[in-house]
Chain A
Amino acid sequence: MADPVIRFRDVSKVFRRPNGRGDLLAVDKLSFEVAPGEIVAVLGKTGCGKSTMFNLVAGLIEPTSGEVAVSGHNPFRDFEAFRGKIGIVFQGDRLMPWRTALANVLLGLEILDTDPKQAQKVARGWLERLGLGGHENDYPHALSGGMRQRVSIARAFAVEPQLLLCDEPFSALDEMTARDLRKEFVRLVRQNGKTAVFITHQISEAMEIGDRVLVCHRPARIAFEARMDREAPAGTRLEIQEKIMEVLSLEAGAGG
């Protein structure tokens, strides 16, 4: 078996609350692996520590104990090693308001010192693929929520990352737009042979996107794991869905 792209080994993360109000355990001895080319959906209630887990993979925060490895490197400490290796689609679009749609997609390519002509070609290509042709010179305020999120997806894909991380990227969109973008996202990940971690609090979204679904309880630890077989009969999928609901309902005291 190929080396995992992501490996969590007994990872814990404790946040110190301000004003001496004690510590908050957000992730508790979490262990899991993600294989190359796999799409893993991480599912859990709001406040269960999914985003903390996400930030640990992205290298935005450091674990209090345990080991996080992405492609064999520490994502927090080996800052340079991950240049252009991770693409992130955040919950909000996080577009720079002073940059046009095209310039926002160009951001990662600029940081990677890509040849400007080549970068323009790549960025325009991604905007076109995501149905934003003709909006290259629009500023974010002139785009709808769905269009902005498409720009942020294009920005993440444009750098050709090995790993894609998505933190509830479609949660603020209407159902129709979210459904279209979900399909588009899965198609792009498969077509480009990426590995992806998709964080969500919606069971249907996790089951639709993930090859594997990890259900988290608070503080983030895996309470249930299911492998999704797309060829499986509807009954089997329904069983998995019921099991997930049961596991989620078992969690006491999680925020809504």
Chain B
Amino acid sequence: MNDNLHLTRLLQATASTLVMIGLWQIASLFFPPYLFPPVPDIVSRTVGILLSWPLLAEVLLTAARIFAGLLGAFVLGCMMAVAIGRSPRIESYITPILVFLQGIPALSWVVIAIIWFHGIEFRIFFIMVMTTLPAFTFQILDAFRSMSKDLFEMTMSFRPRRWTLFRVLIVPTIVPGILTAWKVNLGNAARVVVVAELVGATGGVGYELLRQQQLFDMAGAIAWTLQLVLFVLVVQQTINAIEGWALRYRAVSERAI
């Protein structure tokens, strides 16, 4: 039953993608290549990037920046969530700042980073951290607060040490929230990194997109965009696989919602 459902969903997704590609190919017959390049051109440029080490290195550079930014924001977010969770006083100081930070557009952080810092990598790291930190903090905090009081009391009845409590109760409780936070922030980070590279870098997917724009090369622009989309899809699937394994204990209803 579940296999059938997965197959149906896969077929539906494939069908809608094929329709979109078909429409694009039809449009390419009526418009110049700088507006709608033919699909085979886009495919060959996309594969070309993957097969050329110098070009692939640009994609990997962007991927590394995304991971570094997300990791930085995650570590800081965990520390802030623990601090907030432990003290209502700290919460009343930090939460308004995080809410304020959430309202600042990514582009503003790009401008601020360019003015404040010289190093390109640190600029991008700073932008990534500042744009994803509030979401990470709030999501980890929510996961921590959703911990069952009943399970907490039950575990405490055995008088665990702090580290044991963390290992047997807190980690398993917050893992689903952490995985969701990574999935949500990955998409945000992929968008932000392009903006950061577009304005303040000399390499990476964003920088390559800027070059394609200057050359009016639509096939190249789409090929570079697809690299980022592919990267996000691969990482999302990896997180989904980890999630499937980590949450394998959950009961699944045969009836879909």
Interface residues of A, Cβ cutoff 8 Å to B: 58, 60, 79-80, 82-84, 86-88, 90, 92, 94, 96-100, 107-108, 110-112, 139, 141-142, 159
Contacts and interface: CB of A to CB of B under 8 A. Distances in A.
B62 to A, nearest CB: 35
Contacts of A94: 150-151, 153-154
B158 A83 contact: yes
A150 B168 CA distance: 21
A160 to B, nearest CB: 12
A96 B172 contact: yes
Interface string B161-191: 1001000110010000000000000000000
A80 B151 contact: no
Interface residues of B, number: 19
Interface string B138-170: 000000000000110111111111001000110
Contacts of B251: 139, 141-142
Interface of B: 150-151, 153-161, 164, 168-169, 172, 247, 249-251
A229 B250 CA distance: 47
Contacts of A139: 249, 251
B154 A88 contact: yes
29 contacts: A58-B157, A60-B153, A60-B156, A60-B157, A82-B159, A83-B159, A84-B158, A86-B157, A87-B157, A88-B154, A90-B150, A90-B153, A92-B150, A94-B150, A96-B169, A97-B249, A98-B247, A99-B249, A100-B249, A107-B155, A107-B158, A108-B158, A110-B164, A110-B168, A139-B249, A139-B251, A141-B249, A142-B251, A159-B158
B151 A112 contact: no
A97 B157 contact: no
Contacts of A142: 251
A82 B160 CA distance: 10
Given A96-B151, A97-B250, A141-B249, A107 B156 contact: no
B254 to A, nearest CB: 13
A107 B168 contact: yes
A163 to B, nearest CB: 11
A111 B154 contact: no
B92 to A, nearest CB: 18
Nearest to B247: A98
A111 B158 contact: yes
Given A60-B157, A96-B172, A141-B251, A111 B164 contact: yes
Closest 3 CB pairs of A and B: A141-B251, A83-B159, A94-B154
Contacts of B153: 60, 90, 94
Which of B151, B159, B250 has the largest count of A CB atoms less than 10 A from its CB? B159
